[in-house]
Copies of this chain bind each other. A is one copy, B any other.
Amino acid sequence: MQKLDDLGVPEAEDRPSVNPQPLSTSSKKINPELTVSEIKHGVRPGDVYVRMRQSHSRFFRRVGPGHFVATPESDRPESPFERGYRAVKKILIGRPLETVAEAHERLSKFKALAVFGADPISSCAYATEEAMLVLIVAGSGALGISFFLALAVSLLLSMVAFSYRQTVYAYPHGGGSYNVSRENLGKIPGLVAAAALLIDYVLTVSVSIVAGADAMNSALIASGFADQIDAVNSTLPPNLNAKVLLSIFFIAIMTLGNLRGIRESGSIFALPTYLFVGSLMLTLAVGLFKAFTGTLDPAVPPPGIPASEPLTLWLILRAFSAGSVAMSGTEAISNGVPAFEKPESKNAATTLTLMATLLGIFFLGVSYLATHMGLVPGEETIISQVARAVWGTNIIYYIFQIATMGILIVAGNTAFADFPRLSSVLARDNFMPHQFSFRGDRLAFSIGIIALGLIASALVVVFAGDVTNLIHLYAVGVFLAFSMSDSGMVVHWWKTRGPNWKTSIVINGADALLTSSILVIVAITKFALGAWIVVILIPIIVSFFLFVHRHYSRVADQLRIVPGQLPPDKIDQLVVVPIDDVNYASLRAIAFARTISKDVVVLHISTNEERTAKIQQKMTTYAHDMKLVILDSPLRAFVRPLLAYVDAVHSQNPGAFVTIVLPEFITAHPWETFLHNRTATRLRSTFERHPNVAVLLVPYLLEK
């Protein structure tokens, strides 16, 4: 039960007041044009408006009648707490950028390959290994097949890349699967593609970062620190082991980097990508030379593993599915066309070709060397074993490991560009909360970046930082998005029938068939291992999109202006002023109420006869023109009787607007509020869901 507020504490005879906030009754109109020369009102010493004597010109630039531009100065924080927060944010995120700066945030081909290409290229760090981990049950001898699997994946990749080049040209404003599917196949297929992509972006972060942590782990094992790593992990919970903590640290850094803006993240991340590309090329060249000269030997002789299962077609298909994760991220370039420097499509297509070529060479090279030496995946990654065989455990090996870790982080970063971008497109299309389309201080889509960082970190924790477990969820989304996009492109060419439309249909159609067959293979072979989660998740996410869309549509329907049904120019209104004492604060509120309406009821909810009598007498003295209603509350409740009274008078004219004008004093120090009731807050929430009722507080600031 709510108690009466003690607005009038403590009652006292009327003697000189300390500092009433000034209120004026001049007939002077305020000039909204802010002509600075007019601002010359002096105020009492100690008055909070002293700083207003300053010119306001530093806050606003007048560009025309009724048109101003706010200067960065107007966004200057007031409280020391907020100033501190801003300072920290400025260090972490950078100074806020103006909206007009947006156009400059574009990527050159060189940087774009680092940002978008890192994801597919880096997958050669784990794709070979994942395929081998499946084949190993058929014994060490079966591992040789992985080279041919790599060949198949590379062929597939070139096919997909070739097909996507067409998309990039056809959709220069961003031809992601969502756009292409939605435009050509319809709303639901578009949303299915979008859901698949969002899931894969999250997995890109988790998988890449964990693989990056694995690279570091391998380097430490190669240096003989295996026991120390075990010792550290034995003191940590399994789901928060050293690798998981390292991964979360990387994700946090990436989140901050991306909140700073896409161009800067391009700069930060170009170095590791090209370091990896360069060092892996060198490693492969030297490795192949040694292999052909017969001097290539593994650092640690691989153990011979006996077969525990026969080498079936099922096993080969599973291994292929595992290796096909290398394809992930091919989509990214077509979705990110607008982020390229002009000419966007051409640059994007070139980058796409370059990326596919590099990935094909790397994937094949690593697989060849691994199978050549008969390497077996273990605690140390395959790619680390290859590098060690080529270089030994020397400085070049360590540089290579660091580069591997670096590119994998950059790969995770790809998703930090894609996920927020796709989310913002979905938000603009009313399928995701609009907050995802707001640009932060640095013009990045902050909410999407933060959401991605949080979800990816959660995944890493749940899967205890294990690449193989995470991989099982991967690839379904990738191939779903591919096949949706290609099918969409077939419809697109059929509709538009531009030059060479028949060739285009054949290319995209063939790719559509190919990728959907592989989708089926991937989904079936990985289903029991974790792909079922994705299969369940996609319809859930699509339902969420539709729920959000329905909500926004309904809101729009209800807010829409109907030319014949405008609200009246002026509204009937009744003002209720609940008072618990007659004092300076309540007289201010009454004066305010008198100013805004001729229909004012001053209401006192009475729990104490003596006090009520005093109030009645004071009202006669100070506000005899006001209608005073006394409402006895024998159960000492305040809010509900007020609610009932307002409902009752309102029912006489439901079309009227009831404003509850509440006198409120604000204590000088926030901690003093615990000495008073917070009636206002309670009243607000009580009347929140009442139409045509508003609660207005007339604040009176206490100065000490």
Q: Would A696 and B659 count as touching, CB distance under 8 A?
A: yes
Query: Which chain B residues lie closer than 8 Å to A98 at the CB level?
Result: 634-635
A700:B691 contact, CB within 8 angstroms: yes
A23 at interface, CB cutoff 8 A: yes
Distance (whole angstroms) from the CB of A539 to the closest CB of chain B: 20
Give A622 Cβ to nearest chain B Cβ, in Å. 6
Q: A1 to chain B: which residues have CB within 8 Å?
A: 75, 96, 440-441
The answer for the CA separation of A676 and B556 in the assembled complex, in Å, is 13
Residue in chain B with minimal CB distance to A627: B32
| A395 → B minimal CB distance (Å) | 46
- Contact: B582 with A675, CB < 8 Å? no
A611 is an interface residue with CB less than 8 A from chain B: no
Interchain residue pairs with CB less than 8 A apart (29): A14-B561, A15-B560, A17-B557, A17-B561, A17-B562, A18-B554, A18-B557, A22-B654, A23-B692, A24-B571, A25-B568, A30-B653, A38-B652, A66-B629, A66-B630, A67-B629, A69-B634, A70-B644, A97-B635, A434-B676, A558-B702, A559-B584, A560-B583, A561-B582, A596-B596, A657-B698, A688-B699, A690-B701, A694-B698
Q: A559-B665, A629-B66 are in contact. Are A9 and B702 (CB under 8 A)?
A: no
Interchain nearest-CB distance for A570 vs B (Å): 4
A552 B701 Cβ-Cβ under 8 A: no
8 more CB-based (< 8 A) A-B contacts, given A98-B634, A562-B584: A14-B561, A17-B565, A49-B654, A70-B635, A70-B645, A558-B665, A571-B595, A689-B701
Query: Could you tell me the distance in whole angstroms from the C-beta of A623 to the nearest C-beta in chain B?
Result: 9
A617 within 8 A of B: no
Interface residues of A in 373-407 (CB under 8 A from B): none
Binary contact track A46-85/B, C-beta < 8 Å → 1, others 0: 0111001100100110010011111010111100000000
Q: Is the CB of A568 within 8 A of B24?
A: yes
* Contacts of A581-630 to chain B: CB distance below 8 A: 581-585, 587-588, 591-592, 594-597, 599, 601, 605, 607, 618, 622, 627-630
Asked if B572 and A28 make an inter-chain contact with CB atoms under 8 angstroms apart, the answer reads yes
Residues of B within 8 A of A601 (CB): 32
Asked whether, in the complex, the Cβ of B591 is within 8 Å of the Cβ of A20, the reply is no
The complex places the Cα of A77 from the Cα of B644 at a distance, in Å, of 11
A346 at the interface (CB under 8 A from B): no
A591 touching B563, Cβ below 8 Å: no
Q: Which residues of the partner chain B approach A697 to less than 8 Å between Cβ atoms?
A: 694-695
A344–B473 Cα gap in the complex (Å)?
A: 80
A100 contacts B by Cβ under 8 Å: yes
Q: Looking at A13, A573, A699, which has the most chain B CB atoms within 10 Å of its CB?
A: A699
Among A553, A574, A630, A651, chain B packs the most CB atoms within 10 A around the CB of A651
Contact pick for A47, options B561, B599, B654, CB 8 Å: B654
A233 within 8 A of B: no
| A23/B571 in contact, CB under 8 A | yes
A26 within 8 A of B: yes
